[in-house]
Every structure is written in structure tokens, then in C-alpha cells.
A and B are shown apart, each in its own frame.
Chain A
Amino acid sequence: MLELAIKGSKRYYGLLAVLAGIAGLGGAFWLWQLDFGLGITGMSRDVSWGFYIAQFTFLVGVAAGGVMVVLPYYLHDYKAFGRITILGEFLAIAAIVMCLLFITVDLGQPMRMLNVIFYPTPNSMLFWDMIVLNGYLFLNVVIGWNVLEAERNNTKYPSWVKILIYVSIPWAISIHTVTAYLYCGLPGRGFWLTAILAPRFLSSAFAAGPALLILLCLMIRRFTNFDPGREQIQSLAKIVTYALILNVFFFLCEVFVAFYSQIPEHMDHIKYLFVGLHGHGKLVPFMWTSMALMALAIIMLIPPRFRANETLLAISCVMVFLGTWIDKGLGMISGGFVPNPLHEINEYVPTIPELIITLGVWAAGFLVLTLLFKITVGVKEEVHA
């Protein structure tokens, strides 16, 4: 099936070249980072995790979002999704690849990363994160490949794949729960020390993942001969709507807890993010933009008439993706680290090299996604020809 990825139009090769170029540029900057150290980023003693880990956190969510296509089809026999489960699985692969790359570029000593395997430490959430992320990648590669190959050969996939599929469903929930557990078990970080962090992560994931999937489906319909299907896109849109509403509701619960209790430790981080604290407020415009995007997206997604209009839906999905990205990818990390445990404020701003490396990883992920989707579309076009 791999040969389907290397045969395509000039536009396809062009896309691959652009993505590879950006990824290569990111790689070159990473080499500089390996030489100089993480000092080329804007991270600091106080904000010791920045853009890289923020992207990782967001993308674990996108990867988990793939389960929203798999679950209805395999557990509840929602036949319509059968057409696009492979797209969800391959999106998960690309997202996990980006997660692993972001973790790698964030490490101070990446050549020692196998230490996590040589010295297993079950009390560390990072240990479990490594296991669940790599496990999920393995699951999706094996499942996706076998299901697609079977479809291409007009046959049923082997029965052991079904077991892996059933395992992948709770596993998807686990990857984002474990990622949330990285944060919500740390005693010194009041912003993250909340039971609702894992549910919030999951709801945000089930909004962002399917939203991206909808956009990708619309693009596939536009640029190839495979139509993922109107009904499928509409069902995904319903999932995005409810997940987004839950996400915003969970956040409002956090706001209530912090501001009704008036406990400074809880209020300070939200204040820093939304109104600034002691004169520092670099993230304030971003956070309000995120809230506006999500609120507007909810308004545009609830009425069935708006949802049914695929142009409006596309715009809503972009807003959902951007809004959740700012919320999780920008606000969550800085908000947790500022103010620091001594209640001092040192803000974080990413540097240009840091952003280029980040972009490079995103490009690498989309390169993987393009290749996998090209194979998928190739098979679908073959089968339906």
C-alpha cells in the first residue's frame, strides 16, 4: 500500500516538498538547540515548560479525539462512521508522532531518553505517559494498516484486529487522562491541582480532534475523488458541539470555584491569564480571544441550520481548533507556572528559534498525515472505481 503514497499529482508533491522543507528547517534549528542548549528558547527557571510541552499537551488531545469516530462504529454499530474510522486512526498516528517529537525537542538530554525504559519508575506519570503514547501509536498503526489493507483487498480484517480495536478505545481515553495526571497531581501548582483537569482535557480533545477531522474531510472531498460523506461530517459536528459546550462549562466551573471561594492561590493564576497580575498580562488578549472564539463557535454550532451549512461549519471548526489551541496550548502551561511557587511573576514569551522548531514539528506531523491520507484516499478510490 505504501506505493500509493509515492504516486501523485504535482500539487501533491508540492505539498510534500513544502512540508518537508519546513520540517527540515525546524530540524536544523533543533540541531542548533542541541548544541547550545534549551537557552535558545524563552523558557526560564520559573516557566520551565513552554511551547513544546504545550503543543504536546494539545496534540495528545487531538490524537485521543480519533476515538470519537471509532467508538460509535465499533461499540454502537453506527455504520456511517465505518467510512471514516481510518481517517480518525491515521490522524491519531500523525498527532502522536508530533507528540513524541515535541517531547524529544523539549528534553535537555534527548540522547538519554531511553533512561525512562532502562530505569522504569511506575510512580512517575511521565513513565506511564511514555507507555500509553507509544502503545496508542502501535495500536493505531497496526489497526489502521490491517483495516485499510483488508478494505483494499475486499475482505474482512483478521479477527485479532478486533481485539486491538476494543483495547484502543479505553486506551485513547487513557492517553489524555495520563497526560492530565502529569499536571493535576503536582501539589505546588494550584492552577492544575483540580480534579476537573482530566475531564476538561478530554472534552477539549473531543472538540478539537473531530473539528480538525471535519476540516480534513472537507479538504479530502475537495481535492480527491473520495467523499467522506455528509452524514459523517454532520455527526462529527454534533460531537464537536457537545464537547465544546462541556469544555467551556468545565472552565466556568473552575472560575466559580476560584472566585467564589476567594482563595488567592486559586484566583491568582486565572487573574494572571485574564486580567493580568501585578502589571503583568502578556497572555490576556490571547485568553479573551480564545474565549470569544469558543463562545462564537458554540453559537454557530448549536442551531442545526448553521451546522448543516458546511461553509459555516468549516469556519466554526477553525474557531474551535484555534480557541482550544490557545486555551490548552498557550494558557494552560503559562497559567500554571505564573505566578511561581514563591508568588513572583516572570512571564514567558517564546523565541523565534523555538517557534521555528515548533513549526517544524507541526510540518513533520502534517507530512505524516498527508502520506497516510494519500494512501487512504488511494485505496478508497481504487475500491470504488
Chain B
Amino acid sequence: MESSRRKFLKVAGISAVGMSVGTRPVLDALAATGGEHGEIKSPEMVKAENALSAVHWGMVIDTRKLQTAADLEPLIEACHSIHNVPHHELKRQEIKWIWETEFQHAFPGTGTQYLNEAAQHRPFLVLCNHCQNPPCVRACPTKATFQREDGLVLMDFHRCIGCRFCMAACPFGARSFNFRDPRPFIPEINKKFPTRSKGVVEKCNFCAERLAEGKMPACVEASKGAIAFGDLDNPESEVRKLLKENYAIRRKETLGTEPSVYYIV
């Protein structure tokens, strides 16, 4: 009795292992033959002809040109509307990709005691900095948050397991989490951009989908010249020219994350 039960378990165990290991190559072989319906090719990614490209995308925000909260509203609205960012009632569940705050919050620990009056009362735009050395990418256990070759830090919302480690890792508080299904809270859905599900993290994506169509990011377009966007690696680009001619700062530079967003104060 004992030995035949043990034998049965042995055979069952080996069969289970064999099936789990062996079915994949068999199915792959069957799939590869295809038959009359043609071969199954894996999809290729091709860049559109008019897609913008860069070695290192960066942004320069001239805060002198954005004096009031009213100046910033259309920028924020442009971003949130085309990206299907929901409007939540509860503050703790809010999702924001770009928003405005005061100098002391955008640049905490940077001398504000006798700060220039204008800078003290000016609203500052904050968003994901698409760091060159991003701690959020280092932290993500599934590479759902990843860095593209052109410097963009992007998210794969389908791979994200919602662990929120990236949110803990971000030194700029740039990331939001979908604490509930966002779809009922999107004022008007933009069908050209995906909506997210509950349980995933999201953040500014430097409008990668617009760059792919040859357009500038939505906030840049809406800023009427206050925000410049371009290739920081190209010395002739507008952003580099602005940085040559003006003194600009970045958020929390001492942390070494190398943000790609500069602020002319």
C-alpha cells in the first residue's frame, strides 16, 4: 500500500514537471508551422518619419514668464485632459502629473529666508524630472518603470504590479497611484490615449506619444513659449541656448539624480 502510493506520487510529480517544461516547446513548434493562415511574426516597432528624436530630452521652464496660477492652469489642464488623468474628490487619492506649488515646496531646503519677493510669491510648476540617474527605475522590481535611450522615464501600465516602491523612491513626489478605478472620474476621455486601471502607478511621460507624432509636449505647447523642450545633448538646441544665457536651477541637485527639468528663476 505505502510503496504504490509513493510510486503514484513520484510518477505524478515527474509528469507535472515534464508537462510544465515540455509543453512550451511543443506548442511553439506547432505555432511556428502556422499553416494556411500564414506565419505568426512578432510585431516590429518602427518610428514614424516625422517623429522627434533626441539623445537626451530636457525641459527649461522660464518661471519669469509664468507669473500667476492662472498662467499655469491651461498647461496643467492640457496635460491632464489629453492623458485621461482623473479628477478625484478625496485629496489623498488625487492623481496629478503636473501641478503648481510654491518655491519652498519645489525647492525645499534652498534658502528662502530673504528670498526675492517675486520668486517667493511666484507659482512654480512641478512634474516628473525624467532624471538621468532615476532612483525610481532602480527601485522597480518588474521594469514596469524604465528609462528609454533618449532619456525619457516611462511606464508600462500593464506590467506594473502596484507595489508603489517607485513612489517611495522618487525624491520629487512626482508619482501618483490609482487607489481606485479612474475611469468614472475622467471628465472627458481622450480615446487616443489609454486610460489606466486601478492599482497602478502613473506619472508624466514627457508626452512620448506626441513626440512620436512630431509634436511638442502638451504643456510646452500650451505655455506659449514659457517652457522650452529639446535635446540637452545638442549644443545648438533652444534649451541649451537658454541655459547658456540664463542661470537655471534644478530640484534637489545634491541627490545626484540629474533631473532633466531646469528652472530659470
Residues of A within 8 A of B (CB): 36-39, 41-46, 48-49, 106-110, 112-113, 115-116, 118-119, 121, 123-127, 130, 182-183, 186-189, 264-265, 336-337, 340-344, 346
A115-B180 in contact given A108-B160, A187-B257, A188-B172 (Cβ < 8 Å) = no
Contact in complex: B180, A127 (CB < 8 Å): no
Contact A121 B140 (CB under 8 A): yes
- Chain A residues whose CB sits within 8 angstroms of the CB of B161 once the complex forms: 107-110, 112-113, 115-116
User: A121 with B92: in contact, given A37-B199, A38-B179, A48-B177 (CB under 8 Å)?
Assistant: no
B159 in contact (CB, < 8 A): yes
Cross-interface CB contact of A186 among B169, B173, B177, cutoff 8 Å: B169
Indicate if B187 sits at the interface (CB-CB under 8 A): no
B181 within 8 A of partner (CB) = yes
- Say yes or no: B167 contacts A115, CB within 8 Å: no
A13 to chain B, nearest CB (A): 28
Question: Interface size on B (CB < 8 Å)?
Answer: 51
Q: Identify which of residues 129-186 in chain B touch chain A, using a CB-to-CB cut-off of 8 Å.
A: 135, 138-144, 159-165, 167-173, 176-181
Whether A124 contacts B141 by the Cβ 8 Å rule is yes
The segment out of B39-47, B102-110, B209-217 that lies at the interface is B102-110
A37 contacts B198, C-beta separation under 8 Å: yes
Which 4 pairs from chain A and chain B are nearest by CB? A108-B162, A188-B171, A108-B199, A44-B92
Contact between B173 and A340 (Cβ–Cβ < 8 Å)?
Answer: yes
Contacts of B106 in A (CB 8 A): 342
Q: Tell me, yes or no, whether B188 is within 8 Å of chain A by CB.
A: no
With A37-B180, A39-B93 known, 11 other A-B pairs at CB within 8 A are A45-B92, A48-B168, A108-B199, A115-B142, A126-B141, A127-B141, A186-B168, A188-B172, A342-B105, A342-B106, A342-B108
User: Shortest CB–CB separation between residue B31 and chain A, in angstroms?
Assistant: 19
- The answer for the CA separation of A125 and B141 in the assembled complex, in Å, is 7
B56 contacts partner chain A, Cβ-Cβ < 8 Å: no
- Give me 5 A-to-B residue pairs in the complex whose CB atoms sit less than 8 angstroms apart, sorted by A's number: A44-B91, A115-B144, A124-B140, A186-B139, A342-B101
Does any Cβ of A come within 8 Å of B66's Cβ? Answer: no
The answer to whether B92 touches A42, judged by C-beta atoms less than 8 angstroms apart, is yes
Is B225 interfacial (CB 8 A cutoff)?
no
The answer on a CB contact under 8 Å between A119 and B159 is yes
Contact A43 B179 (CB under 8 A): yes
Is B200 a contact partner of A49 (Cβ separation < 8 A)?
no
- Residue numbers in A under 8 Å from B180 (CB-CB): 36-39
Question: Chain B residues near A343 (CB, 8 Å)?
Answer: 104-105, 108-109
Taken together as a complex, chains A and B put the C-alpha atoms of A219 and B170 apart, in Å, by: 45
Specify the chain A residue showing the minimal Cβ separation from B201.
A108
Pairwise interchain contact A115-B159, C-beta atoms closer than 8 A: yes
User: How long is the Cα–Cα vector from A112 to B199 in the complex, in angstroms?
Assistant: 11
Residue on A nearest B176 in the bound complex, by CB: A45
Q: Which of chain B's residues has its CB closest to A111's CB?
A: B161
How far is B165's CA from A189's CA once the two chains are assembled, in angstroms?
12
Residues of B contacting A119 with CB < 8 Å?
Answer: 142-143, 159
Among A45, A115, A123, the one with the most B-chain Cβ atoms within 10 Å of its Cβ is A45
Residues on A with beta carbons closer than 8 Å to the beta carbon of B105: 342-344
Report the Cα distance A43→B200, complex, angstroms. Answer: 14
Chain A residues whose CB sits within 8 angstroms of the CB of B126 once the complex forms = 342
Q: Which residues of B contact A38 (CB under 8 A)?
A: 162, 177, 179-180, 198-199
Query: How far is the CB of A160 from the nearest CB of chain B, in Å?
Result: 19
- Interface pair A341/B171, CB less than 8 Å apart: yes
Please pick, from A49, A112, A125, the residue contacting B164 in the complex, using a CB distance under 8 A: A49
A55 CA to B225 CA, complexed, in Å: 49
Is B94 positioned at the interface, with any CB of A under 8 Å from its CB? yes
Q: Which of A44, A46, A183, A188 contacts B252 (CB 8 A)?
A: A188
A115, A337, A342 pick with most chain B CB within 10 angstroms: A342
What is the chain A residue whose CB lies nearest that of B168? A186
Q: Which residues of A contact B140 (CB under 8 A)?
A: 121, 124
| Given A108-B177, A126-B141, A341-B172, A346 contacting B92 (CB threshold 8 A) | yes
- Distance between B30 CB and nearest chain A CB, rounded to angstroms: 22
Assembly CA distance A153 to B198 (angstroms):
53
Measured CB to CB, the closest approach of chain A to B164, in angstroms, equals 5
From residue A45, how far is it (CB to closest CB) to chain B in Å?
6
The interface residues of chain B lying within 8 Å CB-to-CB of A113 are 161
Q: Whole-angstrom distance from the CB of A37 to the nearest CB of chain B?
A: 4
Q: List residues 50-96 of chain B with CB under 8 A from any CB of chain A.
A: 90-96
Residues of B within 8 A of A183 (CB): 168
Cβ-based interface call for B22 (8 A): no
Q: List chain A residues, Cβ under 8 A from B109.
A: 264-265, 343
B255 at the A interface (CB under 8 A): yes
Give B260 Cβ to nearest chain A Cβ, in Å.
16
Closest to B179 in A: A39
With a cutoff of 8 Å between Cβ atoms, the chain B residues found around residue A124 in the complex are: 138-141, 165
In angstroms, Cα B92 to Cα A109, docked, is: 19
Bound together, the chains give a CA A46 to CA B168 distance in angstroms of: 9
Contact of B256 with A by CB under 8 A: yes
Chain B nearest Cβ from A332, distance in angstroms: 12
Residues in chain B near residue A341, CB distance under 8 A = 108, 170-173, 252
CB distance from B79 to the nearest CB of A (A): 17
Contact with A108, one of B96, B101, B139, B178 (Cβ below 8 angstroms): B178
Report the bound CA distance from A182 to B197 in whole Å: 26
A43 to B92, CA, bound (A): 7
Q: Are B159 and A37 in contact (CB under 8 A)?
A: no
Is A187's CB under 8 angstroms from B139's CB? no
How distant is B103 from chain A, measured CB to nearest CB, in Å? 11
Q: How far is the CA of A37 from the CA of B201 in the complex (A)?
A: 13
A369 to B200, CA, bound (A): 34
Residue of B96, B141, B168 near A116 (CB, 8 A) is B141
Question: A126 to B197, alpha carbons, bound, how many Å?
Answer: 23
